Structure 1
């Protein structure tokens, strides 16, 4: 089974409305995609580091998702990993364990509470 990559901004925004599971190295978003199979996307902001650091983190996340999603991913869902600050230094095996746990929590419907908004924007 091949995994499709999410490329459109609208799909990333839709995933943001889905289930959120936070871990020390990343945040997993899972959102139903209407029968388009298992898809994944990766987001790493400039707050994480320069381009070299961000690209390294994206390569690691891509490999984690390709290994975990065929078995543990939610069927017909978009899976988005958002990089967090400590994620690039974390041990790869530990990240893999955390991703497996996050996918199990998402499959059970046990997401984290919605995040609080900062500032005055509504």
Structure 2
């Protein structure tokens, strides 16, 4: 059941475009899935962690763990022809790897069913 090729998202515009897709929040991360019109069914992924999370060592460890998860799970459970972005949350680096794996599989199945979380409200009110 392997799908198309797996590649990395490198451009900021692609990360911003993923924010317009389906959003599924979990305790350790937020998963963004943005379906693209790709006939070859290729999968792309990206990982981002803000400086609010911790120092560079903590952020890089979290990114390494997330990349390992995505490389393991996306070829089997990812949405074909879509961009997948994981955003690290505060407790993500301490969470058990097996727990993160099961949460990612659940998040991908919710995204595949189109059951994303409601859009975030802007802290200063709605944008115009």
TM-score interval, normalised by the smaller of the two chains: over 0.9
Counterpart position of 2:26: 23
* Number of residue pairs matched by the alignment: 122
Counterpart position of 2:67: 62
C-alpha RMSD of matched pairs (Å): 1.3
Distance, in Å, in 1 between the alignment partners of 2:59 and 2:5 is 25
Counterpart position of 2:95: 90
Q: Could you report, residue by residue, the CA deviation over 1:33-57 in whole angstroms, capped at 9, with x for unpaired residues? A: 2216100000100000000000000
Runs of 4 or more, structure 1, over 4 Å off, are none
Distance, in Å, in 1 between the alignment partners of 2:23 and 2:101 is 17
Mapping 1:68-83, distance limit 5 Å: 68-83=73-88
TM-score, normalisation: structure 2: 0.91
- CA shift at 1:112, angstroms? 0.3
Counterpart position of 1:117: 122
- The gaps in structure 2 that reach 5 residues or longer are none
Distance, in Å, in 2 between the alignment partners of 1:120 and 1:19 is 21
Distance, in Å, in 2 between the alignment partners of 1:64 and 1:18 is 20
Q: Could you report, residue by residue, the CA deviation over 1:36-80 in whole angstroms, capped at 9, with x for unpaired residues? A: 610000010000000000000000000000010000000000000
Which structure is higher in helix share? 1
